[in-house]
A and B are shown apart, each in its own frame.
Chain A
Amino acid sequence: MQKQRIDFGSFAIPLLSVAVALFFGGILVYIQNINPITAYTALFTTAFGSWDGIATTLAKATPLILSGLAVAIGLRAGLFNIGAQGQLISGALASAWAGYALDLPTLIHIPVAILFGAFFGALVGFIAGALKAYRGVHEVITTIMLNSIVIALADFLASRPFKEPDQPLTRTPEIQESARIPDFLGLPFGFFIAVAIAYGMWWFLGNTTSGFRIETVGKNKNAAWYAGMPVKLTVVMAMVAGGAIAGIAGAIETQSIVGRFEPAFNAGLGFDGITVALLARANPLGVIPAAILIGGMRASGSTMQFEAGVAPELVDLLLAMILFFVTAPLLARLLRKKESGVSLTSGWGN
């Protein structure tokens, strides 16, 4: 039976990139007179060394899986969706609102709130997708602009109409119990949702006609048009799907961890999504281990400071370096591999 196959051969570069980044990060740490081994040990044992640690890691990995998927599906269609951040925030705010403003029994409230998140994330994605498909505006700029617009808008909404009354902070009221996503065997349920979506996307891209359209448009727009595919619509669909998934990420984050919408709650989750997606070579299944790795690093950042004295921003730097090594053809040359990696549209045209 002709099945979709998982290609294990392409793991070398991502793994090597992580290793090399850790090495250079270690040097930076060493310059500050701190033992890198202590720092890294603190980092990894906190993340993976205890049940509690694993639970925290998986909780952090959940939005990363989803925002990684949001970027990945864009990449598959030849788009660079940098807007996962903004899409995630809209989803978070929308689900927070649905969480506190609606009165529904638990079994309905949870999915409804998640759907609110998906819808508003999709809306933001739609704007970027439509501008690209029908006006030819490059999605890199629009998504970055939309990120800032959404952040400002969300800040406004959380400080005025949606503000929690009788207190000075910019935030929404807490969501009701019926909207909270519970843990499952001590582990965050949202994680399993995210994994399910990842598998879903992998299967979707390989086995459905819509998935084939997305892949073809990403690889050769002209051939896709020749083959009768609706290219513009497909571009919009990919951005809408990405936006929806990022919106779900925001919703799950709100409903399982934060419990409300606070503006500063998730700085950088969307951008880590880019690193996750590129580390995973835009493969939906690869997103899972990539997100767990990065989630683990994020989760233990503060412990690393506490135990080894290294600023948690080291993680920012490590991630930036991982991204660099994954995409620069240095390691590929070293391994003498032919790069048939993710190719993106270049330039402002088309």
Chain B
Amino acid sequence: MGQLMRVTTSKVVALLSVAVFAYFYAQNDLVTTSVVYSAIPLALPLALAAMVGVLCERTGIVNIGIEGTMLVSAFTAFFVAAIFEDTVTGLIAGVLTGVVVGLLLAVMSVTWKMDQIIAGVIINILAAGLTSFLYRQGYSIPTTLPQFDITWLAGIPVLGPILNFHGPITYFGIFFIFALWFALYKTPWGLRSRSVGEHPSSADTAGVSVTKLRYLNVTIGGAVGGLAGSYLALEWVGIFERGFTAGKGFTALAIMIFGRWNPLGAFAAAIFFGLAQAVTNQLMIDEVINIPQQFINMLPYVLTIVVLAFAAGKVRPPAAEGQPYEKEKV
């Protein structure tokens, strides 16, 4: 019964969104297009960060350290790009940094069996400490990653201008989200990963290596987190500041919960967040509303809490998440 309700709600929400969009498009197609277009860069880092969460938690590891992962990856991406004067090298460095952080989290959670929340908090504090300590003023990257003008994409009516003119990480990211969804539900890897997150001993007794799978997925998660951080530094704005990530890693957790640990659900939730910000920005520009800047800044955080207050109680996380797996306790 619950299943039926969920599917229906999704369909209703989808229909409503299309209706709302159609309405505003009819009013003023240029502004509507630009608002929705601008929502994508706002949503993408959140979506990618949420994918990290989905990947890790589905396999049973709670990852609070997404924020720290993104921060330290953004840092590395930026400074490597600046020092080597090549943005792509920076991108590679950023992703590799994410891999390293992912491995660290895996070691702490899987091998050392530390409390996973503490492990995540440590990653965040270490990331903040390191980036603070090593930060130097006066660096800049040669160029941000290019925005692609894809003619066939631009040709699509209505959606074309929205989907066109984004950078490589954006396009790859969107592809990755769909690929992750597919892999999670249709491949052996996906079935096994989910079983490890729900009931690891069942996987173990079926001959699946819980440890290997958790290491693999958390490390891949780290790479995706690194990608998200690199996106912020190299594709979105091309700068880096202390505290650059500004809570996006935590908002991503809310998005993951709201999306019920489903890549597509999380993607939709991320877009919703992105739209909320884009719309607010537009309303500010049009001077329809006049809110002090601090309240605009507060918006994502308040939204996160509100979302969680309504969603958290009613959703079921992967059953075995957060608990280290002990083979001999089967």
Contact = CB atoms under 8 A, between A and B. Distances in A.
Contact of A149 (B112, B121, B301): B301
Given A145-B250, A313-B132, A346 B301 contact: no
B122 to A, nearest CB: 5
A328 B295 CA distance: 39
B292 A156 contact: yes
B317 interface: yes
A136 interface: yes
A337 interface: no
A131 B313 CA distance: 10
Interface of B is mostly: helix
B246 to A, nearest CB: 8
Q: Which among B112, B119, B298 has the greatest number of chain A C-beta atoms within 10 A?
A: B298
- Indicate the size class of the contact surface on chain B: 35 or more
A130 to B, nearest CB: 10
A239 to B, nearest CB: 14
Interface string B245-265: 011001001100100000000
B142 interface: no
B133 A314 contact: yes
Contacts of A345: 117
B250 A144 contact: yes
A278 B117 CA distance: 13
Nearest to A327: B118
Contacts of A323: 122, 125-126
B304 to A, nearest CB: 5
B312 A138 contact: yes
Interface of A is mostly: helix
Nearest to B309: A135
Nearest to A342: B115
A160 B295 CA distance: 13
Interface residues of A, number: 48
Contacts of B64: 140
B294 A155 contact: yes
Given A156-B295, A313-B132, A347 B317 contact: yes
A316 B129 contact: yes
A18 interface: no
Contacts, number: 136
Nearest to A311: B133
A229 B128 CA distance: 40
A82 interface: yes
Contacts of B32: none
Contacts of B301: 145-146, 148-149, 152
B313 A135 contact: yes
A320 B129 contact: yes
A320 B122 contact: yes
Contacts of B308: 131, 135, 137, 141-142
Contacts of B118: 80, 278, 327, 344
Interface in B288-306: 292, 294-295, 297-298, 301-302, 304-305
A319 interface: yes
A125 to B, nearest CB: 14
A104 B108 CA distance: 54
A146 B294 contact: no
B225 interface: no
B298 A320 contact: no
A238 to B, nearest CB: 16
B281 interface: no
A343 interface: yes
B94 interface: no
B309 A344 contact: no
27 contacts: A135-B312, A136-B312, A141-B254, A141-B308, A144-B247, A144-B250, A149-B301, A149-B305, A155-B294, A160-B292, A275-B125, A278-B118, A313-B129, A316-B129, A317-B132, A319-B129, A320-B125, A320-B129, A327-B119, A343-B115, A346-B116, A346-B322, A346-B323, A347-B317, A347-B322, A348-B317, A349-B317
Interface of A: 28, 80, 82, 131, 135-138, 140-142, 144-146, 148-149, 152-153, 155-156, 159-160, 271, 274-275, 278, 311, 313-314, 316-317, 319-321, 323-324, 327-330, 342-349
Given A148-B247, A317-B133, A347-B323, 18 more contacts: A80-B117, A131-B308, A137-B309, A145-B301, A148-B297, A149-B305, A152-B294, A274-B125, A313-B133, A320-B122, A320-B126, A323-B122, A323-B126, A328-B108, A328-B122, A329-B112, A344-B118, A348-B312
